[in-house]
Amino acid sequence: MTEEQEAVKTICPYCGVGCGIKVQPGAKPGDMRFVPWGDAPVNEGRICIKGGAATEVVDHEDRLTDPLVKEDGEFREASWGEAFDRVVGELERIREEHGPDAMGFFGSSKTMNEENYLLQKLARRYGTNNVDNCTRMCHASTVWALRTSLGAGAMTNSMADLEEAADVFWIQGANPGEQHPIANSQYFRQAVLEGATVIQVDPHANKTTRSFQIEETDRHMHLQLNPGTDIPLLNVVIKTVLENGWIDEEFVAERTEGFEHLEETLADFDREEAAEQCGVPLEDIELAAEKYAMANNAAIFTGMGMSQHTCGVDNVQNEINLALVTGNVGRPGTGVNPLRGQNNVQGTCDVGAMPNVLPGYQPVDDDEARKSVEAVWGFEVPPEPGLTNVEITRAAGDTVAGLYIMGENPVMSEPDGNRVEERLRELEFIVAQDIFMTETAKYADVILPATTWAERGGTVTNTDRRVQRMRPVRKVHGNTKHDLEIVSEVGTRLFGEGFDFEDPEDVFEELRQVCPSYHGMTYDLLGEEGIHWPCYEPGDEGDPYLYEESFDTESGLGHIEGVRHQPPRETPDEEYPMILTTARLEEHYNTGTMSRRSPTLNRQHPENFVDIHPNDAERYGVSDGEDVTIRSRRGEITVRANVTEAIKEGSIWTTPHFAAASANRLTNDVLDERAKIPEYKAAAAEIEVGVEP
């Protein structure tokens, strides 16, 4: 084997578990292939179907290979010089004519820390905080609740300590069996085989449910609640804990604040009525409460079934309430743990690609924080938080005139996709930086062809705060550029200085100066193992679990706050009598830009479908496998019916991955008031049968 052919150690480009993989370069780009990395720190060589197929799209025939500019409504090839001139010229024109807040910048959870860091710096140097990324769509509410009530918007614990120490896994609104397969099989299932109990709370029976139905154990419960009833269910649990005296009094007295508010909130709470509302037998919820409260160490896992609601912040707050009243935070095997979707969704937020925070979650409206960052950057940052990505799209053609999109696909990823398309048509200028012609890039004026995950280096931060290095295997198309090079060139042409970096490491060196929780990391120290943040000084080993002695809140106490049920903004009515809920599949990845082009993944699920309960199917006269149209107030899609008891009667379930029939043509763009996350998980819908296939 020649030196050139040696396999390169890098990180899987898909989910937030952050599995290490090796990639063999092969003789030519199309030969690039996955090989196991046996002692990879997170996964020890194990891999799921997505990770194993990740190299399939690197040299895909649909790759964008040259810059494109739109002329008379058609794209034509252009030189990089012409494309950069057009981008810089339009950015300057928009700022001059409308002011800097007329631009929006979308970072991406699929790109690396250095790239997102530089993009948010570009936005702020341009003069706006209108910069966001797709974590807004998945865990903005989780981050909000965790930051406010505990201190950091991230997993409190790590997968390894959870496997070793947790006796009970409370998994609510998350489906690790499907979306974090290696975390599920390597850590959670292993713990169950060794005696841990899983309590799953979800309207949908899914791969997670099946993975824990282990013969001869009764260590799995599935509370199949109605969509949007997570607060009442958790209130039944908490009230059961309070009434039975299962609280950790010492922990509540010494380490928390707000317990009285929770007691007051639940004083008149009727558990029987709430259980009925949830559609779950009261005795099952009580039994689950007992199992959680009686465990030595109980850990909560939370996912988008909790966060993607107009009450997303309150949903997660109630999980925090449960953990705090039972003293299940600050030790191995405990805590409140969001399972993050994409391979760098945690890092993209950590490095400040959000409208309200600078790198390291320093509030942009905090004068002291801003000044400390400005001292490194050498320019002033606007003091007012900017618009979130859904707000930017809504303002398109109104107060927003232009969009800079790095690796995002809002036509597919944002709710109410038809309206997103209308809005994009209203913009004066869009630049899209991507590897494929996405459904969004079609609306761009300039397309900048970027390189894929296997072609460039940098760092990504996985779901348990582990910062790891990605390493380049080889470049595939000569006229493409790395995201970092592109943003660097745009910044240098616009501002002359502050964007000229040699390589990703050079950017990371600046990032660690302004991001306290990354300050102690260097590329050398990250090595092959990576480091969990916070890592304040070189030599800190990083914390696998947080809050052992105090919380990172102003008072140092964990914040408890009672919450009440808030129904989804749309509830079933005569015209739209079903509740539509959405989620992802193991074999596909978000908007499907990569996974739909992977032959292995696409073979598993080539098209969308909808799960319908047999009783609803009978009522509507739907046969299994028949094409049906699903309609909401915002649009319609035609998909194959999958008649199954996996979904609750009265609800239907489908996915956002497929351009031809994406769930997001139907979803509602109403937002959680604080976190601005859309309500993907509940919309009123109707089924129509007898449609032409």
| Interacting residues with ligand SF4 (CB under 6 A) | 12, 14-15, 17-19, 43, 47-48, 50-51, 180-182
Closest-CA residue to 340 (of 509, 158, 70, 117): 158
Q: What are phi and psi of 529, to 5 degrees?
A: -85, -30
Q: What minimum distance in Å lies between the beta carbon of 224 and ligand SF4? A: 25
Provide, rounded to whole angstroms, the least separation between the CB of residue 542 and ligand SF4. 19
CB 424 within 8 A of CB 451: no
417 to 21, 350, 420: CA distances (angstroms)? 34, 28, 5
Q: Residue 172 or residue 179: which is nearer to ligand SF4 going by CB?
A: 179
For residues 35 and 660, which CB has a smaller minimum distance to ligand SF4 in the complex?
35
Nearest CB to ligand SF4, comparing residues 183 and 446: 183
- The smaller minimum CB distance to ligand SF4, of residues 12 and 670, is found at 12
Spell out the SS3 assignment of 323-380: HHHCCCCCCCCCCEEECCCECCHHHHHHCCCCCCEEHHHEECCCHHHHHHHHHHHCCC
Pick between residue 114 and residue 587 the one whose CB is nearest to ligand SF4: 587
Q: What does the buried/exposed string (b/e) look like for 205-227 if buried means 16 or more CB atoms within 10 Å of the residue's CB?
A: bbbbbebbeeeeeebbbbbbbbb
Q: How far is the CB of 603 from ligand SF4 (least distance, A)?
A: 17
Q: Smallest distance, Å, CB 406 to ligand SF4?
A: 21
Q: For residues 125 and 180, which CB has a smaller minimum distance to ligand SF4 in the complex? A: 180
Smallest distance, ligand SF4 to C-beta of residue 78, A: 35
In the complex, the smallest distance separating the C-beta of residue 184 from ligand SF4, rounded to whole angstroms, is 8
User: In the bound complex, which residue of the shown chain has the CB atom lying closest to ligand SF4?
Assistant: 51
Q: Which helix (H) or strand (E) holds 9?
A: strand 8-11
What type of residue is 459?
T
What is d(CA 443, CA 90) in angstroms, rounded to the nearest whole number?
A: 16
CA within 13 Å, CB half, 614: 3
Least distance in Å: CB of 47 to ligand SF4? 5
Contact criterion met (CB below 8 Å) for 113 and 350: yes
Q: Hey, what amino acid is at 337?
A: N
Structure tokens at 487: 């943003």
Rank residues 353 and 601 by Cβ distance to ligand SF4 and give the closer one: 601
285 near 278, Cβ under 8 Å?
yes
- Beta carbons of 532 and 645 less than 8 angstroms apart: no
Whether 628 contacts 691, CB under 8 Å: yes
Rounded Cα–Cα distance for residues 107 and 120 (Å): 7
Closest to ligand SF4 by CB, 180 vs 631, is: 180
CA dist 278 and 234 (Å) reads 10
Rounded CA gap, 544 and 466, in Å?
Answer: 9
182 or 515: CB nearest ligand SF4: 182
* Nearer CB in complex with ligand SF4: 23/122: 23
> Strand, coil or helix: what is 105?
strand
3-state secondary structure 606-674: CCCEEEECHHHHHHHCCCCCCEEEEEECCEEEEEEEEECCCECCCEEEECCCCHHHCHHHCCEEEECCC
Q: Closest distance between ligand SF4 and the C-beta of residue 50, in Å?
A: 4
Residues 446, 70, 404, CA angle at the centre, nearest 5°? 25
| Residue pair 253/558 in contact by the 8 Å Cβ criterion | no
Q: Report in angstroms how near the CB of residue 344 gets to ligand SF4 at its nearest.
A: 11
Say how far apart CA 143 and CA 413 lie, in whole Å: 19
Identify which of residues 182 and 396 has a Cβ nearer to ligand SF4 in the complex: 182
Q: Would you say 47 or 675 has its CB closer to ligand SF4?
A: 47
CB of 16 to ligand SF4, least distance (A): 7
Peptide bond preceding 577 in cis form (omega within 30 of 0) = no
Q: Calculate ∠ Cα 619-622-627, nearest 5°.
A: 150
Cβ at position 462, least distance to ligand SF4 in Å: 8
Alpha carbon of residue 672 to chain centroid? 16
7 burial via Cβ count (<10 Å: 0-12, 13-18, 19+): middle
Cβ 590 to ligand SF4, closest distance in Å?
Answer: 12
Q: Closer to ligand SF4 at the Cβ: 54 or 403?
A: 54
Write down the least CB distance from residue 304 to ligand SF4, Å: 15
Instruction: In angstroms, give the least distance from the CB of 598 to ligand SF4.
Output: 12
Tell me whether residue 22 or residue 121 sits nearer to ligand SF4 (CB atom).
Answer: 22
CA-wise closest residue to 316 among 336, 342, 330, 286: 336
List C-alpha distances in Å: 544 to 151, 529, 537, 615, 666.
15, 13, 16, 47, 40
Q: Which residue has the tokens 């997670």?
A: 208
Cβ proximity to ligand SF4, 463 vs 488, nearer residue: 463
CA distances from 20 to 15, 267, 286 (A): 12, 49, 40
The least distance separating ligand SF4 from the CB of residue 49, rounded to whole angstroms, comes to 7
Of 48 and 685, CB closest to ligand SF4: 48
Q: In whole angstroms, how close is the CB of 588 to ligand SF4 at the nearest point? A: 11
Pick 47 or 579: Cβ nearer ligand SF4: 47
Min CB(13)–ligand SF4 separation in Å: 8
Q: How far apart are CA 642 and CA 624, in angstroms?
A: 5
